[in-house]
Amino acid sequence: MEIYGVSIFYLVPLLVFGPLVVWVLFKVFRIQSLFTLTDEERELRRKHRALVAIQNIESAKSARFKRPKLTPLRILGQGVLYALFIVGIGAFSNWPAYEQTAPGMGQIKLSLTLLGKRVEPCIIRTREELMKLAPNMRRAKSCPRERWPVDAVFMLDGVEVYRQTAKPAGLSSDGPSSFYETFFVGEGEHRVHLTLVDDGGQAPTKTFEQTVRLKVGQALAITMDHEGRVGVY
């Protein structure tokens, strides 16, 4: 949904965080004091800061700010502890390796984004019908925006590995439906087979079938180009 061409999704954070920010400004930063401070209060504040500073001057000479005595034994001990620290950091920054799939596999990724058919067909209004509408609503062709969810079935080497129904995006269900899934498969030839139903019916409205050769560590994508043609890339 849009308001003046801006998706309302951008308003949600504003509505959530706006009041939070205002609350923080007032309760935590107490910014109201910025507006309500009298000159007298400002003067007091200055005085107070000065007093705090005086209170801290002598404290700053305290022994706790002095460097601990560094004996050779201590230096050695610190060295050992720092060594432990960098071993810990260095190790877990690189190791143990993460195996996202067994070595020797390749990857096929299915990513489709397509519009389902409209649930109701467009209406073409006659002259008489148009005259009955308010002047600003007079459009000859009107298309209800809702679209069908899309069903997808994906088979790999004759085995069904994926079956999904994707609802159209958007609050008024007028956006595209998306499918996204990753499959790890061994190297060699594979038969991929995809059927799509985009009109709420049973019969496939689109099928795609192809044999692909996959190498170790190769990543293939089954996706659509701008014209909606499915292909393997």
| Binding of residue 16 to another protein (CB under 8 A) | no
20, 125, 139, 211 from 133: Cα distances, Å: 45, 10, 9, 55
Which two tokens mark 86? 């960098």
| Binding of residue 18 to another protein (CB under 8 A) | no
Nearer to another protein, 5 or 103 (CB): 103
| Binding of residue 86 to another protein (CB under 8 A) | yes
| Binding of residue 109 to another protein (CB under 8 A) | yes
Count of residues near another protein by CB under 8 A: 67
| Binding of residue 9 to another protein (CB under 8 A) | yes
Nearer to another protein, 56 or 202 (CB): 56
Output the smallest distance, CB 111 to another protein, in A. 6
Nearer to another protein, 125 or 164 (CB): 164
- Is cis: bond before 149, omega within 30 of 0? no
| Binding of residue 94 to another protein (CB under 8 A) | yes
For CA atoms 52, 57, 63, 69, the dihedral sign is positive
CB 207 within 8 A of CB 191: no
Residues 170-189 contacting another protein, CB under 8 A: 170, 175-176, 178, 180
CA–CA gap between residue 148 and residue 197 (Å, rounded): 9
| Binding of residue 40 to another protein (CB under 8 A) | yes
41, 94, 111, 135, 212 from 232: Cα distances, Å: 73, 34, 11, 50, 8
Task: Find the farthest-apart pair of alpha carbons in the chain and give their distance in angstroms, rounded.
Answer: 101
| Binding of residue 35 to another protein (CB under 8 A) | no
Report CA dihedral (55, 58, 60, 66) to the nearest 10 degrees.
Answer: -150
| Binding of residue 95 to another protein (CB under 8 A) | yes
CA–CA gap between residue 196 and residue 218 (Å, rounded): 26
Output the smallest distance, CB 106 to another protein, in A. 7
Q: Which residues bind another protein (CB under 8 A)?
A: 9, 28, 38, 40-41, 44-45, 47-48, 51-52, 55-56, 58-59, 61-69, 74, 77-78, 81-83, 85-86, 88-90, 92-107, 109, 111, 113, 169-170, 175-176, 178, 180, 217-221, 223, 233
